[in-house]
Amino acid sequence: MLASRESFRLSISYKKYRRVNMSVLVISGSGRDQSVSSVVGNWISSEFGFKHFNLSKNKLPVFDGSELTTESQNVQLMLTEMKKAEAIIMIAPEYHGAISGALKNALDYTNNDIFEEKPVLLLAVAGGGKGGINALNNLRTILRALYADVSPRQFVVDSDALDEPKLSENLFDCINGFLLKKSIFDRREVSDYTLSGGEL
């Protein structure tokens, strides 16, 4: 279970995943200090060994198109890590039926060169038990505009139910499924499907 926001230890000894040899960047999209998105991002980072770019720690200036903002240290760090990553897991807090301003601001610094064909898994954090889908749909639309290869899988973390016993298991399965699918595609040989054409 996700225990609490402060002591976020997860017991996943019940299940072993195959560690994939892949560089995955986790981006948590809340600007709040006590952010549940950060907690989820830190958990994924420690359990899977992925880098975590946390927007509540690495604050970005408001995008205005100027060199001053684009060349700021945190923006450059984020863009470098995004480019290097073979896949990205993005955590979007739901604010007023959409993603956070902090995450949209971060995405405004990016472009197709970073996202085209990049596998991305979308997660949302929402309160009240019935939110999250608006943030996911909103983020899916934005990433479509950036030509990202967004997974059909997605997951909502209810910020009021971090102790829910199945939460970590289901989140784990969602991430594992995303990673496995990508690695299957990576292993596929071109000859498997291009040299076997012809009428069926």
- Binding site residues, ligand FMN, CB under 6 A: 30, 32, 35-37, 93-97, 125-128, 131, 159
What residue is closest to ligand FMN based on CB? 131
**Residue 124 Ramachandran class (φ > 0 left, ψ -120 to 50 alpha, else beta):** beta
CB of 94 to ligand FMN, least distance (A): 4
- Shortest spacing between CB 163 and ligand FMN, in angstroms: 14
Give the residue with the Cβ less far from ligand FMN, 31 or 119.
Answer: 31
CA distance 177 to 144: 21
Least distance in angstroms from the C-beta of 55 to ligand FMN = 9
Tokens of 64: 């205005």
Distance CA(93)–CA(111), nearest Å, equals: 21
Question: 32 or 104, CB closer to ligand FMN?
Answer: 32
How far is 43 from 50, CA to CA, in rounded Å? 10
Taking the complex as a whole, the smallest distance from the CB of residue 145 to ligand FMN amounts, in Å, to 22
> How many CA atoms does the CB half-sphere of 43 hold within 13 Å?
27
- Nearer residue to ligand FMN within complex by CB, 22 or 127: 127
